[in-house]
Amino acid sequence: MAKVYIFLANGYEEIEGLTVVDLLRRAGIEVVMVSISGDIFVTGSHNIITKADALFENVDFADADMLVLPGGMPGTNNLKAHEGLDLLLKEFFSIGKRLAAICAAPIILGSKGLLMGKNATCYPGHEGALTGAHVTNAAVVEDGNIITSKGMGTAIDFSLSLIKNIVGETEAVKIARAIQYQYYN
């Protein structure tokens, strides 16, 4: 079974994080919500408290197929400042494992030099922080082992893209139909 880790920091955008968790789990993908805050309970940017599955310091990420970063403020800045996550993202990138980020979170990848020469997108106004990327206005951009997306309104498209990349197009279409999502190609 494929395994995805999604990182939650205080101030994360709840829709961007939980849509990923919900849709990937519907597709039979194991998703682990990891708190980087030192507390199993994480407060989102709209004061919704989420109970994570694990604390960062207690997880061995060797079995991950993908790492996912939701956006939101100040959640994105909190993720960006976490030293352990910084090292993990760079390690996964260096061995070609998949990384995904939505909304403001692609700036985390940009700040670490992981978007050099890649096509990418992000929440409008943050394009300058996508260092070295070819910035597009697409809702979701897949380039090699990196997937980026614009924001809360693209969370379903983003999640379906992750499903497609992990278990295939057929499963992504199946999930889109099951949730009555009409706009997925």
Q: What is the pLDDT of residue 183?
A: 61
Strand partners, 35: 8, 55
CATH homologous superfamily for 3-178?
A: Class I glutamine amidotransferase (GATase) domain (3.40.50.880)
- End-to-end Cα spacing for the chain: 25
**Which letter, b or e, does each residue of 51-84 get, where b requires 16 or more Cβ atoms within 10 Å of its Cβ?**
ebbeebeebebeebbbbbbbbbeebbebbbebee
Strand partners, 146: 99, 143
Query: CA–CA separation, 118 vs 114, rounded Å?
Result: 8
Query: CA–CA separation, 21 vs 113, rounded Å?
Result: 27
pTM (global) more than 0.85: yes
Catalytic residue among 66, 99, 103, 120: 103
Q: Count the neighbouring beta carbons within 10 Å of the beta carbon of residue 146.
A: 20
Instruction: Per residue of the chain (185 residues), give pLDDT as tens.
Output: 899 999 999 999 999 999 999 999 999 999 999 999 999 999 999 999 999 999 999 999 999 999 999 999 999 999 999 999 999 999 999 999 999 999 999 999 999 999 999 999 999 999 999 999 999 999 999 999 999 999 999 999 999 999 999 999 999 999 999 999 986 55
Q: Is 103 a catalytic residue?
A: yes
Q: What is the pLDDT of residue 182?
A: 81
Strand, coil or helix: what is 30?
strand
Q: What is the pLDDT of residue 168?
A: 95
Q: What is the pLDDT of residue 74?
A: 97
How is the chain split into domains, by residue range?
Answer: 3-178
Q: What is the pLDDT of residue 127?
A: 94
